Amino acid sequence: MKKILIYSLIIISAGVIAWGAWLYFRPVAEIEITEVQTDIEEEDAVEAITTEDDDDDSDQLDITGRTGFTLEFEGTKLRTRIGRANITTAYGAGNDYEIRASVRTAGILNKLFSDRIRLTSSGISQDGKMIADIFSNATVKSGKNAEVREKIHHLDGNVWTYTRRGNVREVDMKIYDMAMDPLVILIQVGHLITTTGNCDFKYNAFMDETGFIIESRDRGTRKESGIKSGGKIITEHRCDITVRNRAGKVQKDFPFDHEFARKNKNVREAKIHVYYSKMGGDVFVPVFVRAVDTPVGNIDIKLTRIRRF
């Protein structure tokens, strides 16, 4: 279940991975777009991107002196809320960037899996491309048994190091070949659509001990999310995502099921449909994700709020 949440929300074209969502086959309330000032006090800036129920997001990304946006999502299955997530992308005064995604379950799923998933990518932007030097995937436990179990990829010069729970581990270095982390791909796809008008792409990605291929087929413009902005249902760009193993540790879970399907069994490859829209901004951002044929059926993940700073 944890991997379904991670890959769906964060792969959002990549993923990673993760969720949030919304009302299943039902009209949604108009999306809220807010502007956040960051030239005041640091404490005020951090508070401005914290929702009322983010009570354990004590490690919110510091946006002071930066520009960017926070996307908030909710996820539902058959009108039942099953999770929520937020993704913040912040650009510094130079060419540095940081992306942080936080994902958690809600409702009945929270009884089964209450840990929070946190992914972070940081590095520099060159010629419109993000080049990560640190990518981490952490499971955050709260309460009586509070702990953070973190897996970190660190690039020093041309050499990657992989650390799991504080210990350096050997991995197949081929996972890094011409590869990006899922969070970078998530944001880069928005720039790709902005500049080319479509989301046909094939990228190498890595996460934990696995290298995989993320391939997208552009399905054109749609109005399938039901999200409203300015009183009108928005138009989105649909990207159908296929994920394939490439190097390192082989994954056999969703969304890799098509690779291990029984002979003659009809298993679709593109199990994640990601929708991008400008939402009044300059660059396309992910607004809607539909994960199909998961172990619990279809799941929708929908944008509920944008905060620009």
Question: Which long-range contacts does 128-136 make (Cβ < 8 Å, 24+ apart)?
Answer: 128/191, 128/195, 129/188, 130/97, 130/180, 130/184, 130/187, 130/188, 132/180, 132/181, 132/184, 135/181, 135/183, 135/206, 135/207
Distance of CA 299 to the CA centre of its chain: 15
Mean pLDDT, to the nearest integer, of 209-228?
94
Q: What is the residue range of 150's domain?
A: 2-308
**Residue 274 near residue 241, CB atoms below 8 Å:** yes
Across residues 259-265, what is the average pLDDT?
87
The residue behind tokens 């179990």 is: 149
Query: For 70-85, what is the mean pLDDT?
Result: 84
What is the domain count for the chain? Answer: 1
Q: Supply the Cα-derived Rg of the chain in whole angstroms.
A: 18
- Using CB atoms within 10 A of its CB, is residue 266 exposed (0-12), middle (13-18) or buried (19+)? exposed
Q: How far apart are CA 277 and CA 274, in angstroms?
A: 10
- Taking only the tens place, the pLDDT of each residue in 98-150 is 999 998 876 656 556 667 899 999 999 887 788 999 999 998 877 777 788 99
pLDDT class of 52 with cuts at 50, 70, 90: very low
CA 43 to centroid of chain Cα atoms: 26
The neighbour count for residue 29, using CB atoms within 10 Å, is: 11
Considering 39-43, 50-54, 94-98, the range whose residues carry the highest mean pLDDT is 94-98
Which helix (H) or strand (E) is 194 found in, with range?
helix 182-196
pLDDT, residue 12, reads 37
CA–CA separation, 176 vs 167, rounded Å? 19
